[in-house]
Amino acid sequence: MSRALVHLLGVLWVCWWLASTGEAQTEYLRYKDPKQPVATRIKDLMSRMTVEEKIGQMVQIDRSVANAKVMKTSFIGSVLSGGGSEPLPKATAEDWVNMINEFQKGALESRLGIPMIYGIDAVHGHNNVYNATIFPHNVGLGCTRDPDLAQRIGAATALEVRATGIPYVFAPCIAVCRDPRWGRCYESYSEDAKIVQEMTAIIPGLQGSIPANSRKGFPYVGGKTKVAACAKHFVGDGGTVKGVNENNTLIDWHGLLSIHMPAYSDSIIKGVSTVMVSYSSWNGVKMHANRDLVAGFLKNTLKFKGFVISDWQGIDRITSPPDSNYTYSVQASIEAGVDMVMVPFKYDEFIQDLTLLVKSNIIPMERIDDAVERILLVKFTMGLFENPLADTSLVNELGSQEHRDLAREAVRKSLVLLKNGKNESTPLLPLPKKVPKVLVAGSHADNLGYQCGGWTIKWQGFNGNSDTRGTTILSAIKSAVDPSTEVVYRDNPDNEFVKSNNFEYAIVVVGEPPYAETAGDSTTLIMMESGPNVINNVCGTVKCVVVIISGRPIVIEPYVSTIDALVAAWLPGTEGQGVTDVLFGDYGFTGKLARTWFKSVDQLPMNVGDPHYDPLYPFGFGLTTESVKDLVARSTSASIGVRASIFTIMVTLFIGLYLTGMLVILSLYIMSLFFTY
């Protein structure tokens, strides 16, 4: 009897255990239910999270130290690729997707299965990735004055980024560069705040246009073909003293609001998902520790509801020297309002320090909750919980012909014609395609790396033609001219070579080498060493057009008188045909300077409206030309008009003569009658 009872109790216990386990396994999790409002999902998930899980969400690490185990055990919220950080050299879209999914699977295996968000710099197209379409840098796009073009570039960039499984980009840069000596000036659309504001149209291109009933300041990402964007770098990074990168911006409150802040307000209205803080300082206060501007103005006044992210090791630079008091840097940045911290490598130290600060009640739990709620809001909004894993359905979007055609359009619209002919009556452009022989010269004519500039494949850019796919300006010239035209290329021809070859004209392509950030800071703003020599040797002997490849205005005034035609091509990217489209007149020049072109670096800083304004070429300057097609049409129309006028005159004269003759005959008849009688 007792044995039977024990057996029965055992069976009942097993049944109860199985039933209770089944209930646990089928427990309703509101945060996983896409039918629930986002606010409900966030509240439910937050109620389940430990302090460690919350702090993990605030951490972004570089892919080089990420793996599935780290993602699972440290609850990492985000992974990024720094400049040039890739799965393997010339990685395919599939290689990227596979790598990112491995990290994501680790995140999904954590206790609550919160997906991580992968971020990458895509500042002029998907610039870290082999075979991607590289668009002109912002300095050129600003000269187009075309927000619709910026939006279309944003949409194309989003597709190429999603093709590699990435849902988040650190773009656009909405700095207002006030001094071209700054090494990041090419990342700025203009010295003028209004142009930068207008070009925030790239955000709805990247993210999708916000619905009509959207609440101000809330992030928006419109599905699997769009990405979360990041407005950067908050705020005043383009106004540092003498253009020194990461330095101090000295400006009053009114100046900060009127010059550097307007594009942020516009970005928030457009639903930008994230904002990145600047390395720089405002009147001596590091932006990564500026609670008044980040927590106060950005979050409370401008009502930004997405998350604020630090720059790469940005919190380390709060102290001088950097990383001299890391615990203080962690405290100062989190208290200032930074929500996600880009700690590419030493994430363990950051997690330990922040955990200690929270458990010691130095940083209140409310601040941690605010940061995590913002991060989760972006993740829920972009559908990351429903679609955490990437697929290969969009791989054909990477470097597609449609996107390359768009980049080519952007190139030709961004070029600014600064001079056309040594006198107005004899313009050199457009160039004839059918001539016996032409010279192409200069260090930048056949160098895709120089053409693309920094932030292309590698952080500092590259030299040569093998690191990605595109069309150099030399290749574009050879394709554009008539098959009978001989194209001769010399990097740095001497004067005798130019004289002895009887060239019809020359195209000289010179400029700056690639650079990024501090490496690009320059007090002299001179072109590469061979440039002046090539200009003097070529343009002193044969009719020449000089094409400047640069991230900003550079010293050109000493050579202008020698040059027949001068074109600012900025950093056009992979589609060199956009340059030849306007040189040979398939399209006309339409670009207008979005930056002042100085005579001498001694004038800097000098921006439109300054009392000492005395530029070589003023803000807004740009000669226009008609396409050959339009010129021919106008000429034909004029010719038809002339022929019509001649015909009218002849008919009038004939009628006049005819009428005159009739009058003479009538007079003679009357006279004959008179004399008869």
Q: Which residues are catalytic?
A: 311, 517
Identify whether the C-beta of residue 88 lies closer than 8 Å to the C-beta of residue 95: yes
List Cα–Cα distances, 500 to 38, 48, 340, 493, 540, in angstroms.
74, 81, 63, 11, 13
- In sequence order, the 6+-apart residues with CB closer than 8 A to the CB of 609 are none
- Give the other-Cβ count within 10 Å of 608's Cβ: 16
Give the number of C-alpha atoms closer than 13 A to the C-alpha of residue 247, restricted to the C-beta side. 19
511: left (phi over 0), alpha (psi -120 to 50) or beta: left
3-state SS, residue 42: helix
Phi, psi angles (nearest 5°) of residue 657: -65, -40
3-state SS, residue 264: helix
- Give the other-Cβ count within 10 Å of 226's Cβ: 24
Q: How far apart are CA 555 and CA 190, in angstroms?
A: 18
Q: Where are the beta strands (DSSP E) in 99-182?
A: 117-120, 168-169
Q: How far apart are CA 459 and CA 462, in angstroms?
A: 9
Joined tokens for residue 431: 């160039």
3-state SS, residue 232: strand
Phi, psi angles (nearest 5°) of residue 513: -80, 165
Q: How far apart are CA 527 and CA 532, in angstroms?
A: 8
Alpha-carbon dihedral of residues 260, 59, 124, 620, nearest 10 degrees? 0
Looking at residue 225, the DSSP 8-state letter turns out to be T
Surface-to-core class of residue 390, CB atoms within 10 Å of its CB (0-12 exposed, 13-18 middle, 19+ buried): buried
Q: How far apart are CA 172 and CA 174, in angstroms?
A: 6
Q: How far apart are CA 195 and CA 618, in angstroms?
A: 15
3-state SS, residue 478: helix
Surface-to-core class of residue 492, CB atoms within 10 Å of its CB (0-12 exposed, 13-18 middle, 19+ buried): middle
Q: How far apart are CA 400 and CA 74, in angstroms?
A: 38
Q: How far apart are CA 375 and CA 63, in angstroms?
A: 19
Q: Whose structure tokens read 């955990």?
A: 355
Q: Whose structure tokens read 């990402």?
A: 221
